[in-house]
């Protein structure tokens, strides 16, 4: 669990300086192509020719690799194992494991799916590492997203670590009071209510006052909102976005045409 729930790393790079929407479109492009382009090695190639070079261009290769190793590889790896063993496709059995047949087809299938998930998550990670949440939300708000969305996303990102910290405290407190998480099943089930109750009720009782506080500061104002930070959107970014959208359409069209 991340302490601040923000992956953003402040650097001055080509990628950091792109408009947040451009980066979002780029991320979606990578994901959609990985899932739709009708060629087996697409996701594998994308990692090599797009994701890794982009992380170098963004000067975040080291941090990106750490995240990839810690978060993404386990998830993709587990998916690979599950699918390799359990996917009942093909007849070319390589080896047997109890009642499970591992075939060449199931291995290939599992490898591609794991790579697709790897592309999806690593593209997303790259986006988060190079984009500050408040930049993204300011830009989207300027483009017409209701300001309340910005409030919800950012306050979730800020409140969550506090709530999780509180829940860790509660777990520790309950343990020290003898409601051991390692004890019998009945005790564990019974301890759920005293664990969750104070955490949940405490937060819910705050809602009214928080709502008053932001309404006092014009949260429901009908004025067009302005933004403290200016987020540049040069014509290069706008062009790049159209190119990326064209690539998405091409990939989906090929997929539909060939299937």
Partner 1 sequence: MAFVNLQNVTYKYPLTKAPVLQNVNLQVDEGEFVSIVGPNGAGKSTLCYALAGFVPHFFKGEISGSIEVDGKESSKSTLDEWVLNVGLAFQNPFNQISGAKYTVFEEIAFGLENIGVPREEMKSRVEDAMALTGIRDLADRSPYSLSGGQQQRVALTSILVMRPKLLVLDEPTSQMDPIGTREVFGTIRKMAEEGMTVVLVEHKMEWIAKFADRVIALKDGSVLLEGKPNEVLTSDLLVENGFGISRYTSTAREAKKQGIWKKESLPVTLDEAAEGFTK
Partner 2 sequence: MLEKIKNNFNTQTWVLIPIAIGINIAVGQIVLVLKLPVFLDSIGTVMVAALCGPWAGALTGALSNVIWGIAIDPGALPWWPVAAMIGYMAGRMAQWGFFKSWWKVVVTGFVVALTAAIVSTPIAVYLFGGITASGSSFITAYLLQTGQGIWSAVVSTSFLTEPVDKITTAMIAFAIIQGLPKRTIGGYPKPEQVEAEGGTNKNQMYIAIGVVVVLVLFAAFMLRNILGG
Residue 189 C-beta: closest distance to partner 2, Å: 5
What does 48 interact with, of partner 2, partner 1, none (CB < 5 to 8 A by kind)? Answer: none
User: Measured from the CB of residue 138, what is the shortest distance to partner 2 in angstroms?
Assistant: 17
- Residue 219 binds to partner 1 (criterion: CB under 8 A): yes
CB 46 within 8 A of CB 34: yes
Q: Are 119 and 48 in contact (CB under 8 A)?
A: no
> What x-and-dash track marks residues 53-92 binding partner 2 by CB under 8 A?
------------------xx--x--xx--xx-xxxxx---
Nearer to partner 2, 204 or 232 (CB): 204
CB of 205 vs partner 1, minimal distance in Å: 10
150 binds, among partner 1, partner 2, none (CB under 5 to 8 A by kind): partner 1
| Residues 6+ away with beta carbon under 8 Å from 156 | none
Residue (124 or 151) nearer to partner 1, CB: 151
Residue 257 CB partners (closer than 8 Å, separation 6+): none
Q: Which one of residues 91, 176, 220, 235 is an interface residue with partner 1 (CB under 8 A)?
A: 220
Binding test (CB under 8 A) with partner 2, winner from 8, 59, 132, 188? 188
Residue ranges in contact with partner 1 by CB under 8 A? 134, 147, 150-151, 154-155, 158-159, 162, 206, 209-228, 230
Residue ranges in contact with partner 2 by CB under 8 A? 1-2, 5, 7, 35, 71-72, 75, 78-79, 82-83, 85-89, 99-100, 109, 113, 116-117, 120-121, 124-125, 128, 148, 151-153, 155-157, 159-160, 162-164, 166-167, 170-171, 181, 185-186, 188-193, 195-196, 199-201, 203-208, 210-211, 214-215, 219-220
């Amino acid at each position: 669990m991340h302490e601040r729930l923000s992956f953003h790393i402040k650097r001055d790079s080509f990628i950091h300086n792109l408009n947040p929407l451009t980066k979002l479109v780029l991320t979606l492009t990578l994901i959609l192509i990985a899932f739709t382009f009708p060629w087996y090695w697409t996701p594998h190639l994308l990692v090599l020719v797009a994701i890794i070079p982009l992380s170098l261009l963004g000067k975040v290769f080291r941090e990106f690799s750490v995240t990839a190793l810690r978060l993404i590889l386990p998830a993709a790896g587990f998916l690979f194992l599950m699918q390799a063993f359990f996917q009942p496709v093909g007849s070319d059995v390589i080896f047997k494991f109890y009642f499970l047949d591992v075939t060449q087809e199931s291995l290939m299938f599992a490898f591609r799916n794991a790579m697709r998930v790897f592309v999806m998550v690593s593209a997303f990670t790259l986006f988060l590492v190079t984009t500050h949440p408040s930049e993204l939300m300011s830009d989207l708000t300027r483009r017409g997203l209701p300001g309340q969305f910005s409030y919800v996303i950012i306050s979730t990102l800020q409140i969550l670590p506090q709530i999780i910290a509180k829940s860790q405290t509660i777990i520790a407190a309950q343990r020290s009071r003898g409601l051991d998480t390692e004890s019998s099943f009945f005790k564990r089930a019974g301890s759920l209510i005293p664990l969750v109750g104070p955490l949940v009720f405490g937060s819910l009782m705050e809602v009214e006052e928080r709502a008053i506080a932001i309404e006092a500061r014009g949260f429901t104002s009908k004025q067009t909102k302005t933004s403290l930070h200016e987020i540049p959107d040069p014509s290069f970014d706008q062009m790049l976005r159209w190119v990326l959208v064209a690539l998405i359409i091409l990939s989906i069209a090929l997929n539909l045409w060939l299937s």
